């Protein structure tokens, strides 16, 4: 997380970011053969950003969106929208 992100959201947000990255990696691992077959780099299939209104997650690869979008979005919501 950038220094701006830490200032806006604090250490808790950094912990949540690490938790989300671990959970996302588990999902990507589960679909490893899909990524290999479609020649998609999982790291380039999404954008994670933050600003004064919160943390945002967007899947940028349509095939990833169709295959696992709901699972990824649910994981993001579970981690970042919880209090």
pLDDT digits (tens, 9 = 90+) for 48-76: 887 777 788 999 999 999 999 999 999 99
Give the 3-state secondary structure of residue 59. Answer: strand
Alpha carbon distance 16, 80 (integer Å) = 7
pTM greater than 0.85: no
Would you say 5 and 13 are in contact if contact means Cβ atoms under 8 Å apart?
yes
C-beta atoms surrounding 42 within 10 Å:
18
């Amino acid at each position: 997380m950038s220094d701006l992100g830490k200032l806006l959201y604090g250490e808790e947000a950094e912990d949540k970011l690490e938790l989300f990255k671990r959970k996302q990696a588990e999902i990507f691992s589960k679909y490893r053969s899909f990524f290999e077959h479609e020649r998609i780099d999982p790291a380039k299939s999404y954008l994670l950003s933050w600003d004064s209104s919160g943390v945002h997650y967007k899947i940028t690869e349509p095939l990833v969106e169709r295959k696992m979008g709901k699972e990824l979005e649910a994981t993001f919501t579970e981690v970042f929208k919880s209090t």
